[in-house]
Amino acid sequence: MRTGDQVVQDLPWKWGVQGKIFIIGGLGYMFDAWDVALNGFLTPLLGTEFALSIGQRGLVGTANLVGMAVGAIAWGTVADRVGRKRAFGLTLLIFALFSALGALSPNWEVFLLLRFIAGIGLGGCIPVDYALVSEFCPRKQRGRVLSAMDGWWPIGATLCGVASTLLLPLPGNWRWMLALMILPAVLLFWLRRGVPESPIYLARTGQEERARAVIDDLVARTGAAPEAYVIPSVDRTPGRRRGVGAALEQLRLVWRFNPVITGVAWTLFVTVMLVYYAALNWMPSILRAQGMGDYAAFAGTTVMNAVGVLGVAAAVLLVEVVGRKWVIAVAGPAAALVLVLFALVLDVPAAALAALAAFGLLSLTVIPVMYAYVSELYPTELRASGFGWASSASRTVTGFAPLLFGSVLWPVLGLPLTFTVLAVAVCAAVAWMAVAAPETRGRELDRITGPGSDESLAVR
Give me the pLDDT at residue 334, please. Answer: 97
Q: Left, alpha or beta for 292 (phi > 0: left; psi -120 to 50: alpha)?
A: beta
CB neighbourhood size of 12 (10 A): 12
Q: What per-residue string of b and e applies to 213-230 under the rule 16 or more CB within 10 Å gives b?
A: ebbeebbeebeeeeeebe
Give me the pLDDT at residue 241, please. Answer: 53
The C-alpha atoms of residue 163 and residue 419 are separated, in whole angstroms, by: 29
Q: Where are the domains of the chain?
A: 4-232+244-457
For the chain, what is the radius of gyration of the CA atoms? 21
What is the topology classification, in CATH, of domain 4-232+244-457? Growth Hormone; Chain: A; (1.20.1250)
143: nearest Cα among 456, 440, 353: 440
Give the CA distances from residue 119 to residues 43, 59, 86, 265, in Å, rounded to whole numbers and listed in that order. 16, 13, 18, 22
Question: CA angle, corner 85, sides to 378 and 379, nearest 5?
Answer: 10
Give me the pLDDT at residue 449, please. Answer: 57
Give me the pLDDT at residue 403, please. Answer: 65
User: Under DSSP, is residue 137 helix (H, G, I), strand (E, B) or coil?
Assistant: coil
Per-residue pLDDT of the chain (460 residues; tens, 9 = 90+): 888 888 998 999 999 999 999 998 888 778 778 888 888 888 888 988 888 887 788 788 788 878 887 887 778 777 777 777 778 777 878 888 888 899 999 998 999 999 999 888 877 777 777 778 888 988 888 878 887 887 888 888 888 888 988 998 999 999 999 988 777 777 777 877 788 888 988 988 888 999 999 999 999 999 999 999 999 877 655 445 555 676 678 788 889 999 999 999 999 999 999 888 878 777 777 787 777 777 777 777 788 888 988 998 999 899 888 889 999 999 999 999 999 999 899 888 888 889 989 999 999 999 989 988 988 888 877 887 888 788 778 877 876 766 676 666 667 777 888 889 999 999 999 999 999 998 888 777 666 654 334 343 333 3
Q: What per-residue string of b and e applies to 308-324 under the rule 16 or more CB within 10 Å gives b?
A: bbebbbbbbebbbeebb
Backbone angles phi, psi at 124, to 5 degrees: -85, -10
Bridge partners, residue 386, by sequence: none
User: Under DSSP, is residue 182 helix (H, G, I), strand (E, B) or coil?
Assistant: helix
The C-alpha atoms of residue 322 and residue 319 are separated, in whole angstroms, by: 6
User: Under DSSP, is residue 3 helix (H, G, I), strand (E, B) or coil?
Assistant: strand
Question: CA angle, corner 194, sides to 134 and 12, nearest 5?
Answer: 40
Bridge partners, residue 230, by sequence: 3
Give me the pLDDT at residue 77, please. Answer: 75
The C-alpha atoms of residue 234 and residue 206 are separated, in whole angstroms, by: 6
DSSP string, 25-55: HHHHHHHHHHHHHHHHHHHHHHHHHTT--HH
Considering the entire predicted model, what is its pTM?
0.71
The C-alpha atoms of residue 412 and residue 101 are separated, in whole angstroms, by: 36
Q: Left, alpha or beta for 455 (phi > 0: left; psi -120 to 50: alpha)?
A: alpha
Give me the pLDDT at residue 328, please. Answer: 96
In this structure, are residues 346 and 415 in contact, taking their beta carbons and an 8 Å threshold? yes
Backbone angles phi, psi at 146, to 5 degrees: -70, -35
Bridge partners, residue 3, by sequence: 230
The C-alpha atoms of residue 317 and residue 313 are separated, in whole angstroms, by: 6
DSSP string, 318-340: HTTTT-HHHHHHHHHHHHHHHHH
